[in-house]
Structure 1
Amino acid sequence: MSPPHVVRMELDTFSVVDRPALATWFGDVFTDLLAPLCPASVSELVAVARGYQPSDTTPWGPPGYARLLLSSGDFTLQSWSAALSDLPSFLRVQLVQLDSQGLPLVDGGWCAEILLKDDPSFPHQIVVTAARSLFGGWISHVVQQKWLAAFRSGATLARACGGWITLDRVGVRTAHEVAAGVGLDESLFTAAEVARGPHWATLLGPRQVAALGGVQQVCASAPCHAVEDLGGGRILLQLTEHLDDVPPDALNELVKFLRPVLH
């Protein structure tokens, strides 16, 4: 439903997450990042839906996945806490434009969503996406800083082993993973040791930082606009000042720097 070009923020973590704190963080992300983008009243958005069963006419997602869609009337810390408790393995909150029959509007529609996937066989994945068209063609510096702030707090809260923010045309795999022929399963199983690619904002986890020479070495030598020590061995690299201005030369320099921890 979303155009192929989206702003995508993803955090991967093998750690046990504080669920009440995570619920608060999700609420802040929704309120600060996604709700202001939606060019419609929240009463027009999808209402609560449980017990999803996919079909040819309502292809909401893969078989076996539960899907929880929240509207503002149910969007409270209590509802989030209950949702995280009731659906520990999969949670998706999606804002989507509907047509006159209450179905998702595909052509010319808009979509933004928050996804939590907590599979015991894989790390947690926390993904926040918004169609770039929702930003009116220009993602302001103020908006970019809000996404970075949410990324920092989420990385610390979840004790993330890696993550990134980018303008993504690929989907669940990063552009680097597609180019390198790396499957999603392999990426997730090695997420703690191997970065999932160079991005506008790249979060390096403790093992990746250690492989690159340690915190001081990375902070002193990373070829980025900004380098931030988040504590706990985690470092956030911001490649350029603006999300939609990433010259190929800058990206190539980051690739060279990250090569020891890339597939």
Structure 2
Amino acid sequence: MLFRPKDLADGAVICIPQPSHSWLSGQLVRAWGNDGFARPAPYEEVCLGAALHDIGWLEWEAEPTLNPETGLPHNFLDMKPPTHTRLWTKGVRQALAFGRYPALLVSLHAKTIYTTFFDFNKAAPDDARLIRSFLDTQEDFQRATVEALAADPRMAPDVTPDAIERNRRLVAATDRMSLEICWGITGEVAIPGVPTATGDVTELHIRSPHGDPADLTLSPWPFAADRVEVFCEGRRLEGRFADEAALRDGLQKAERVEIRAVFNPA
């Protein structure tokens, strides 16, 4: 779960489930593609993989755990390796029910997250071993999946190293864009490592020209349409909680709110 507290003056927070955030990422991928930024390929599989990248959180989001230090659900950034490696493992298996290519992208995104943000040098030895074991298992899955898909003439062009790297970067970029939207952009944020149509990477800049997180500009422009609107759903949670039963009841009764953002070219 992630939170948007910035626009609430009364101490309430907007709680956004991980699968809701990842659905927003899928919407961004579905709108993607122009002369400068290649349309996703295979299109439906990449759109689905982006939308499913946090599918492993479904069970946790139905019964979130309480962070006793905050009185709120655990922020996804505060989860410990035994929990998030279990969720990622389950997520890859769940995504496989939709197809091998979406599951491959979910697995690759897990690798991206750990190799980018996890500091093996500072981690506890048990945590580092656990994540290395997880990554080894995922690499075996990725290798076997690519070999199987390469035997399919329809899928073979989309499992070359360049194609896989392009799609891995696209899911990572739209995941970061979605997170920034959910957190609430009131200034400017940069999205690095975005794949272009030429095979290079660039940096996107999202700006809120009027301090409104729903009214955004983007440059360079990666979308097919000249205006793109995306949305997901959160819950407005008031107060703090002393036990998980009260927290879950509070979330169940919380007001549903829409997180919406409109992009226009800068």
Higher helix share: 2
Q: TM-score range by the shorter chain?
A: under 0.3
